[in-house]
C-alpha cells in the first residue's frame, strides 16, 4: 500500500515500485470476485425475505406453529397444516440416506481401493452417469416397474416385522414413503459416491501403510485408516446428497402417494413439501391463501435444509473435537 | 552377494531347512495360530535370510539378486545413496513392496526357514511377524494414544483383558510410557514428532513381531528425538531382529552391528559395522563412506 502512494521514491531502486496501472487487474479481479460472492449471499437472503413476505397470509391465518405442526393439509376446507409434508420430507430423506449412503461409500471404497485398475475408469463413469438420468425417468421407472415388483416384498416385511415401530400396515399401497426413499437413494448415490471417492483418494499412503504394516487385513485397513480419515468428507458428501433428497420433486411426486395426512408406517402413503408445491401450484394461482401456503411450504423447506445441514456440521465438529485434531480431508460442504 | 560366513556355521539348521519344506518354526500361516503364536515367541528373535531377491516397479528393476542374511539379536543397517533400492529391499521383507501398484518381488525371504513368498503364506500373518516403522511417524490420527498401540492387538484377537497390559508393556518397551502414562486417552497426533515415532514403534511392538523393519525412522526427527530412538534400538535388539534403513552413516555406525552397503539396486558389501566403515573391501563402499559420492 505504501508502495502505491510513493512508488518511485525508494532510493534509486525504482524497480521495487509498481505503477498504479499495473496493479489495476489485481484490484479488478478482487472487486469482481467479491461482488459475485456477495451477490450469491444477497440472492439467498432475498429468497428468504421474499418467501417470508409472500407466505405471511397463511401464517396469519394458521399461526407459524399451527402451519408447521398441524397434521392436515386440506385445500378444499382451507386447512393448511404442513406437518405431514415436513415429516414426509424428513422420512423420505432419512430413508434415502439410510439406503443410499452405505452403498455409495461402499462403491467409493471399492473404486478407490479394491477395483482392478483396468475397469476403474469405466466403472467410475458408469456410476457418475446415474446422475445424468433425469429424475422424472427415475420416477416413471419406479412407478411402473419398482412398485409392482416390490409390493409383495414390502407386504411380507410389514407383516413379518409388524412389531417394529412404523412398520405395520394392513395393506401396503403402491406408492409410499419407502419407495420414495428408495428412489431418492438411487438418485443421491452418484454424488455421494463421487465425493467420497475423491476424499478416499486423498487418504495418505503412509496412513494406509500404518495399518497394513501392522498386519491388518484390507478391510481392517479401510476401517482403521481410510474411513476415519475420510469421515468428514463423507459426511459432507452425504449432506449434498441429503440436499438433493430433500429438494427432489418430480420423482417423489410420482411415487409418494400424495396423501395429505401423516401416515403411521413407512409403507404408508405420504406427501413431501416439494411434491405438494409441484402438484398444487397451478390451481393455487386463483386462491391467495393457497398460494401463500405453498410459498410457506417452500420457506419451510428452505429452513429445513439449512437446519439439517447445520446440525450435521455441528455433529461432525463435535466428533472431531473429541478425537483431537481436526481431520482435514477437504470435501466438507 | 556375500552373506556373512558366520551365519552358516552358527545356524546349521537354516542350511538344512533351506531347500526342503517349511520347517519346525513356521510363521503363523493361518488365522487360528496367528493369534497365539506371537505370544509364545515373545522375546525370541528370528533369523532372516534373503535369497536371490529381485524387486521391480513395473519394468524398473529396483533390487537385483540380493542374497543376505540378518542375524538374531543383531541390528543391521542398510546404507546407500538415494534410489539404491534399500527401502525397497526392506519393504520386501514384510511384503509391503507389493502394495504399490505395479510392484512385484521375486526370490525368497526366509524367516527361520519359512519362505514368506511361499505358497500358503498369508501376507497378513507375515506382517504380524515382521513389523515395520516408517519414515514419517504415522499414528492413526483419529485414535488416542492407547488405541493407537492397541490397534493391532484388537484386530489380532488378543483377549480383551490382556490388551491394557500389553499396551503398557509396548509403551514401556518403546520408552514412551513415562511421557504418556497420564494421558493415554489423548490423541496420538498431539504428541511431538519423536514421541509419535516411538508411539509407532510401540504400536509395532504390541503385536510382538519377531523382526522389526525400520525405514529411515529418524529422518523426520530432530537430533534429540533421534538419539532416543537410537537408544531404544539398542534395547530392542534383545527382543527382535532389527533391520534399519538409514541415509545417515553416523547413525548406522552408532546403532548397527552389521552394515550393508547397496548401490544401484545391488548389494555391494556386507560386514561388521566397524570394519565396513574403517576398512571396506569394495572400492565403491570406501568412496561412499568417505563421502566421495551419494
- B window 147-176, beta carbon within 8 A of A: 151-152, 155-156
Q: Which of A212, A214, A231 shows the shortest C-beta gap to B207?
A: A214
> What pLDDT digit, counting tens, does each position of A273-296 carry?
999 999 999 999 889 999 999 999
Give the ipTM of the model, two decimals please: 0.79
- The residue with greater pLDDT, B73 or B108, is B108
Residues 112-131 of B with CB under 8 A from A: 124-129, 131
d(CA A2, CA A13): 15
How many residues belong to chain A? 333
How many Cβ pairs within 8 Å bridge chains A and B? Answer: 87
| Bridge pairing between strands B258-263 and B266-272 | antiparallel
Q: pLDDT (tens digit, 9 = 90+) per residue, A194-212?
A: 999 999 999 999 899 999 9
Q: Which fold has domain A91-258+274-287+306-323?
A: MetI-like fold (1.10.3720)
| Cα-based torsion angle of the residue sequence B232, B234, B240, B241 in order, rounded to the nearest 10 degrees | 130
Q: Tell me the per-residue pLDDT of B37-90, one tens digit each, with 9 for 90 and over.
A: 344 444 456 789 999 999 999 999 999 999 999 988 889 999 999 989 999 999
pLDDT in tens, A6-28: 554 555 566 777 788 888 889 99
pLDDT score of B253 more than 60 = yes
Model confidence at A228: pLDDT above 60 = yes
Mutate to test the interface with A, among B88, B98, B152, B156 (most CBs of A within 10 A): B152
Q: What is the pLDDT of residues B183-226, one digit of tens each?
A: 999 999 889 999 999 999 999 999 889 899 999 999 888 898 89
- For residues B129 and A127, what is the distance between their CA atoms, to the nearest angstrom? 40
pLDDT above 90 covers a percentage of chain A that reads 60
Q: Does any CB of chain A come closer than 8 Å to the CB of residue B97? A: no
The mean pLDDT value for B163-179 works out to: 91
Does pTM top 0.90 for this prediction? no
- Residue of B33, B155, B190, B209 to mutate, interface with A, max A Cβ within 10 Å: B155
Q: How far apart are CA A202 and CA A199, in angstroms?
A: 5
Helix or strand or coil: residue B218?
coil
The more confident residue out of B6 and A189 is A189
pLDDT higher than 60, residue B180: yes
What backbone torsions phi and psi does residue B74 show, to the nearest 5 degrees? -130, 145
Q: Which residue of B has its CA nearest to A226?
A: B140
Q: Tell me the per-residue pLDDT of A30-65, one tens digit each, with 9 for 90 and over.
A: 999 999 999 999 999 999 999 999 999 999 988 888
CB contact under 8 A, A324 and B126: no
What would the DSSP string read from start to end of A129-170?
Answer: HGGGS-HHHHHHHIIIIIHHHHHHHHHHHHHHTTTSTTT--S
Confidence class of residue A272 from pLDDT cuts 50, 70 and 90?
A: very high
User: Residue B132: its chain A contacts at CB < 8 A?
Assistant: 209, 213
Amino acid at each position: 500500500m505504501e508502495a502505491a502512494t510513493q512508488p518511485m521514491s525508494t532510493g534509486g531502486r525504482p524497480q521495487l515500485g509498481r505503477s498504479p496501472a499495473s496493479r489495476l487487474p489485481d484490484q479488478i479481479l478482487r472487486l469482481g470476485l467479491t461482488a459475485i460472492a456477495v451477490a450469491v449471499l444477497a440472492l439467498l437472503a432475498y429468497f428468504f425475505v421474499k418467501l417470508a413476505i409472500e407466505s405471511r397470509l397463511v401464517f396469519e391465518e394458521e399461526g407459524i406453529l399451527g402451519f408447521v405442526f398441524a397434521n392436515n393439509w386440506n385445500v378444499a376446507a382451507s386447512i393448511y397444516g404442513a406437518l405431514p409434508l415436513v415429516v414426509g420430507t424428513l422420512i423420505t430423506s432419512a430413508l434415502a440416506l439410510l439406503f443410499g449412503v452405505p452403498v455409495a461409500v461402499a462403491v467409493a471404497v471399492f473404486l478407490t481401493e479394491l477395483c482392478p485398475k483396468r475397469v476403474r475408469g469405466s466403472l467410475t463413469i458408469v456410476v457418475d452417469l446415474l446422475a445424468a438420468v433425469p429424475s422424472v425417468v427415475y420416477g416413471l421407472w419406479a412407478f411402473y416397474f419398482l412398485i409392482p415388483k416390490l409390493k409383495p416384498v414390502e407386504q411380507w416385511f410389514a407383516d413379518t416385522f409388524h412389531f417394529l415401530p412404523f412398520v405395520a400396515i394392513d395393506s401396503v399401497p403402491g406408492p409410499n414413503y419407502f419407495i420414495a426413499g428408495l428412489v431418492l437413494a438411487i438418485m443421491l448415490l452418484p454424488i455421494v459416491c463421487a465425493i467420497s471417492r475423491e476424499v478416499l483418494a486423498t487418504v495418505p499412503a503412509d496412513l494406509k501403510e500404518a495399518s497394513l504394516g501392522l498386519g491388518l487385513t484390507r478391510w481392517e485397513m479401510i476401517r482403521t485408516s481410510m474411513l476415519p480419515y475420510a469421515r468428514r468428507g463423507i459426511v459432507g458428501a452425504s449432506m449434498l446428497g441429503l440436499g438433493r433428497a430433500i429438494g427432489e420433486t418430480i420423482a417423489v411426486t410420482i411415487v409418494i402417494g400424495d396423501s395429505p395426512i401423516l401416515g403411521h408406517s413407512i409403507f404408508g402413503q405420504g406427501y413431501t413439501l416439494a411434491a405438494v408445491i409441484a402438484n398444487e401450484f397451478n390451481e393455487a394461482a386463483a386462491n391467495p391463501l393457497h398460494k401463500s401456503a405453498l410459498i410457506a411450504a417452500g420457506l419451510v423447506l428452505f429452513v429445513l435444509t439449512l437446519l439439517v445441514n447445520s446440525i450435521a456440521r455441528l455433529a461432525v465438529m463435535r466428533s472431531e473435537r473429541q478425537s483431537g485434531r481436526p481431520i482435514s480431508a477437504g470435501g466438507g460442504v | 552377494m556375500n552373506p556373512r560366513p558366520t551365519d552358516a556355521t552358527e545356524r546349521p539348521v537354516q542350511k538344512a531347512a533351506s531347500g526342503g519344506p517349511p520347517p519346525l518354526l513356521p510363521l503363523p500361516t493361518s488365522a487360528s495360530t496367528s493369534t497365539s503364536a506371537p505370544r509364545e515367541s515373545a522375546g525370541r528373535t528370528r533369523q532372516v535370510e534373503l535369497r536371490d531377491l529381485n524387486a521391480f516397479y513395473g519394468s524398473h528393476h529396483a533390487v537385483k539378486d540380493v542374497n543376505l542374511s540378518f542375524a538374531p539379536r543383531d541390528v543391521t543397517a542398510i546404507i546407500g545413496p538415494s534410489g539404491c533400492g534399500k527401502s525397497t529391499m526392506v519393504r520386501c521383507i514384510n511384503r509391503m513392496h507389493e502394495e504399490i501398484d505395479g510392484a512385484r518381488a521375486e526370490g525368497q525371504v526366509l524367516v527361520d526357514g519359512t519362505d514368506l513368498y511361499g505358497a500358503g503364506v498369508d501376507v497378513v500373518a507375515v506382517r504380524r511377524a515382521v513389523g515395520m516403522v516408517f519414515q514419517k511417524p504415522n499414528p492413526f490420527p483419529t485414535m488416542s494414544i492407547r488405541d493407537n498401540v492397541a490397534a493391532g492387538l484388537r484386530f489380532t484377537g488378543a483377549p480383551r483383558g490382556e490388551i491394557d497390559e500389553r499396551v503398557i508393556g509396548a509403551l514401556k518397551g518403546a520408552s514412551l510410557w513415562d511421557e504418556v502414562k497420564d494421558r493415554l486417552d489423548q490423541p496420538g497426533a498431539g504428541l511431538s514428532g519423536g514421541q509419535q515415532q516411538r508411539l509407532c514403534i510401540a504400536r509395532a511392538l504390541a503385536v510382538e513381531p519377531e523382526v522389526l523393519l525400520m525405514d529411515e525412522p529418524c529422518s523426520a526427527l530432530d537430533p534429540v528425538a533421534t538419539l532416543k530412538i537410537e537408544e531404544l534400538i539398542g534395547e530392542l535388539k534383545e527382543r527382535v531382529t532389527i533391520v534399519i534403513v538409514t541415509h545417515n552413516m553416523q547413525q548406522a555406525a552408532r546403532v548397527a552391528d552389521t552394515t550393508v552397503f547397496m548401490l544401484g539396486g545391488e548389494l555391494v558389501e556386507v560386514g561388521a559395522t566397524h570394519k565396513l566403515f574403517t576398512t571396506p573391501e569394495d572400492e565403491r563402499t570406501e568412496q561412499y563412506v568417505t563421502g566421495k559420492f551419494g
